[in-house]
Structure 1
Amino acid sequence: MDWKEVLRRRLATPNSGPNRKKSEQELKDEEMDLFTKYYSKWKGGRKNTNEFYKTIPRFYYRLPAEDEVLLQKLREESRAVFLQRKSRELLDNEELQNLWFLLDKHQTPPMIGEEAMINYENFLKVGEKAGPKCKQFFTAKVFAKLLHTDSYGRISIMQFFNYVMRKVWLHQTRIGLSLYDVAGQGYLRESDLENYILELIPTLPQLDGLEKSFYSFYVCTAVRKFFFFLDPLRTGQYLNLDKDHNGMLSKEELSRYGTATMTNVFLDRVFQECLTYDGEMDYKTYLDFVLALENRKEPAALQYIFKLLDIENKGYLNVFSLNYFFRAIQELMKIHGQDPVSFQDVKDEIFDMVKPKDPLKISLQDLINSNQGDTVTTILIDLNGFWTYENREALVANDNENSADLDDT
């Protein structure tokens, strides 16, 4: 058979020969064979799976146990070396002075008053000469961030230099705080922060006159404020409230806080919900209490007070809980010879101020969103605060009159 006959037969039989169309199953089988071939090659062969896994870099190291002293020391030393390296990456005083000199040399006239300016072209030139440590500051993003209304498209040299200084200072502080992270987990425990502030006190000029006997009070106050707002208050007041000088506050002693007009009902809730020792409050618990009352516009403070007002632990305030606290205000008004105010009127005012999503329930988020949380909580827990709210118009008018009298004189 000659080649012409072979060609004719192949053309007459499309499913045979090298050019035939492959079936769907054959294509899948071929694809699987190729995948198996290349996957096995990449993995190093099916029989070498363990060897392959050994080539993956280790990314997790367990924390050493308490009895593994050597491993603990190694971890501490490696963290110290790491932080030292990070510290060396920051600009030192000499490098900052050099940066200021370069910026001043490349300023772009005209000046705005006494303020030197620099355009983007000169900004980049300074970046090239300032050295690798400064590279992160000389970007288009930083320039645009500091660019405001200059008609020549320039930024203030002083503003830029202050920006660099703040960044350097923040990184220095971060590294300094990290040195007190004993566990090396990226956060500070209360005891870690106490150690940091205690060692910081001698370097603070504002505390030159602070007696060492008060160091512990200052440290506790500062640390408590950090922890309250992130997850110096009146230390003397705490000592004055502590009449029996046992270092703790009873409910009766705490009742003299401020203007001594908080209701007993509210104080009962404080001692029910807050951590106490044999029915008395320690200094740390007192600081939380004071921080909440003195910062009632802040979400963290409102959350603290809301928990006390939510007597049924339902996650919202209803008419019952509002009435529960306001009855104590009415009792105090009677004691002080004031005409009691109708709860119905107060309740309507509170709901009008807050405008909750549910017309019968006030949630914590409702209080925060209304920007009236401080007013609402004051009305419910403090007679003096309620009286000030009720007479707000008369007080404003009186202030205006006093201002007018001062102007006349």
Structure 2
Amino acid sequence: TPGTPPPAPTLPTPTSTPTPRSPSPPAAPVVVTPPPPAINIPRFYYPRGLPATGPATNHDAAIAAIEAAFTEFEEEKADIYEMGKIAKACGCPLYWKAPMFSSAGGERTGFVSVHSFIATWRKLLHGCHDDASRFISLLAKPSCNYLEQEDLIPLMQDIVDTHPGLTFLKDAPEFHSRYITTVIQRIFYVVNRSWTGRMTTMELRRSNFLQTLALLEEEDDINQITDYFSYEHFYVIYCKFWELDTDHDLYIDPKDLGRYNDHASSNRIIERLFSGAVTRGNAVQREGRMSYAEFVWFLMSEEDKKNPTSIEYWFRCMDVDGDGVLSMFELEYFYEEQCERMERMGIEPLPFQDLLCQMLDLVKPESLGKITLGDLKHCRMAHIFFDTFFNLEKYLDHEQRDPFADVDSEGPEPSDWDKYASEEYEILVAEETANEQLHEGYDAYSYTSIHAEEPFPVFQTLLTSCTFT
């Protein structure tokens, strides 16, 4: 048709030709890597001590020495008192004798034969390779690898019965259990770092308890051994408890404890003490009351806040929500009562924000806004920190002194607990002397006749006035 453009020419459809495929590369050979040679890592964990090697593994000489020691006794049998020679023949401290005696079955028969003891000791030598593991094994219950508090009672009773520095207690058997309780609490306070109530071999190794126990046979004056065993320290602790325990049932309640040191501690911290924050397991014997054993922990923690256990003790009390850190809210909670008490005394308290800045500068916590147990242990100022929040008397005392004055003192110094116990004992002695003089003035004849044979006059009031249930 005119005017219509011609259609586009039809192009021939190209035929597709297959592209030849390139040949595949040859497969790489499989390389089999041999396993690395086994690395022989020597054993490094010996819960019962590192076994001896060489001639030291032969215990024949030790057994022969034990057999020779038994020949000195009739029928080669030893009672509890004669076991001291056997302990020395074994190369052990004297006051291991009671645990050895019990472990070999002496409590059942009243004596230990040479054959039963050698069998017991040989088994111990083969299974336990250092003093700590042997001591635990001797005292622990069957199939237990730890000591609980009651496991130490036979050891302590033997010390009370036989140590020259405690002979005066023979006339006051009612005080045996109180002294034993005090010493055992002090041992666990220092040694049982895990707060489990179970003393492990590792904890015993890391402590100075076995070394201190060995000192008992060298020192007749037990008050020279201030770690654990000092009778003067017991006397101070028990007198402090007796003053608070007005009904003398060996328990105190929050009101009783509040009177300690003229109401120095705040009500809020006392409430936390009775909340179970610092008691272990089922140690709370009567709800709302503190036992004498628990008071030992309180007093040692209160009077030496530099001690690691004391820092843990008070940290647990201040950590109200139990999250492992002290928040600013918890600090303010405890400081509020301090402010109220200062205002009643006519003292203008430092505002919390200002005090908080001081405390953060003092502790220097790793994380802003919260204080951990590690922060308090590292700062060396935990005692000032704690007193600021719940002990008004000591807080005001710290305010009058340079907090860094005694931090960098050179040479070993007595602990705060040792200094407190020594000072308080002198005060108690002075009070006792004054009471004696007053008593003598009223009835010299009666007083002398009653106490003529008392070995240590300083204990007269306590020994003659206390009764136990």
TM-score bracket for this pair, using the shorter chain length: 0.5 to 0.7
TM-score, structure 2 normalization: 0.47
Partner residue of 1:35?
A: none
Choose from 320, 344, 351 the match for 1:342: 351
RCO (CA 8 Å, sep 6+): is it higher in 1 or 2? Answer: 2
- Asked if structure 1 preserves the Cα contact closer than 8 Å seen for 2:326 and 2:371, the reply is yes
Partner residue of 1:199?
A: 158
Structure 2 unpaired stretches of 5+: 1-28, 33-58, 70-89, 92-129, 193-232, 406-469
* 1:356 counterpart = 2:317: no
User: Whole-Å Cα distance in 1 between the matches of residues 61 and 375 of structure 2?
Assistant: 45
User: Whole-Å Cα distance in 2 between the matches of residues 265 and 188 of structure 1?
Assistant: 34
**Paired residues for 1:316-327 under 5 Å:** 316-327=325-336
Alpha carbons of 1:358 and 1:177: their partners in 2 closer, same or farther (altered >3 Å)?
closer
Choose from 216, 241, 257 the match for 2:177: 216
* 1:249 counterpart = 2:243: no
User: Whole-Å Cα distance in 1 between the matches of residues 136 and 331 of structure 2?
Assistant: 44
SS in 2 for 1:185: coil
**Paired residues for 1:130-209 under 5 Å:** 178-183=137-142, 185-209=144-168
Partner residue of 1:230?
A: 191
Whose helix proportion is higher, 1 or 2? 1
Partner residue of 1:388?
A: 397
**Which one-letter code corresponds to 1:216 in the other structure?**
S
User: Whole-Å Cα distance in 1 between the matches of residues 250 and 238 of structure 2?
Assistant: 12
Alpha carbons of 1:176 and 1:358: their partners in 2 closer, same or farther (altered >3 Å)?
closer
**Which one-letter code corresponds to 1:224 in the other structure?**
Q
Choose from 269, 274, 277 the match for 1:271: 274
User: Whole-Å Cα distance in 2 between the matches of residues 174 and 301 of structure 1?
Assistant: 27
Structure 1 unpaired stretches of 5+: 1-23, 29-83, 95-132, 135-170, 397-409
User: Whole-Å Cα distance in 1 between the matches of residues 184 and 395 of structure 2?
Assistant: 32
User: Whole-Å Cα distance in 2 between the matches of residues 173 and 195 of structure 1?
Assistant: 18
User: Whole-Å Cα distance in 1 between the matches of residues 64 and 301 of structure 2?
Assistant: 40
**Paired residues for 1:263-302 under 5 Å:** 263-273=266-276, 274=279, 275=284, 277-302=286-311
SS in 2 for 1:228: helix
- Asked if structure 1 preserves the Cα contact closer than 8 Å seen for 2:251 and 2:292, the reply is yes
**Which one-letter code corresponds to 1:264 in the other structure?**
N
SS in 2 for 1:272: coil
The runs of at least 4 aligned residues of structure 1 exceeding 4 Å deviation read: 84-92, 171-178
Partner residue of 1:308?
A: 317
SS in 1 for 2:274: helix
The alpha-carbon deviation at position 177 of structure 1 amounts to 6.3
| Percent pairwise identity | 25
- Asked if structure 1 preserves the Cα contact closer than 8 Å seen for 2:272 and 2:317, the reply is yes
- Asked if structure 2 preserves the Cα contact closer than 8 Å seen for 1:87 and 1:172, the reply is no
SS in 2 for 1:246: coil
The alpha-carbon deviation at position 291 of structure 1 amounts to 2.4
* 1:369 counterpart = 2:378: yes
**Which one-letter code corresponds to 2:356 in the other structure?**
K
Alpha carbons of 1:224 and 1:90: their partners in 2 closer, same or farther (altered >3 Å)?
farther
SS in 1 for 2:383: helix
Alpha carbons of 1:195 and 1:338: their partners in 2 closer, same or farther (altered >3 Å)?
same
User: Whole-Å Cα distance in 2 between the matches of residues 388 and 90 of structure 1?
Assistant: 60
- Asked if structure 1 preserves the Cα contact closer than 8 Å seen for 2:136 and 2:146, the reply is no
Alpha carbons of 1:227 and 1:390: their partners in 2 closer, same or farther (altered >3 Å)?
same
Query: Aligned residues, how many?
Result: 243
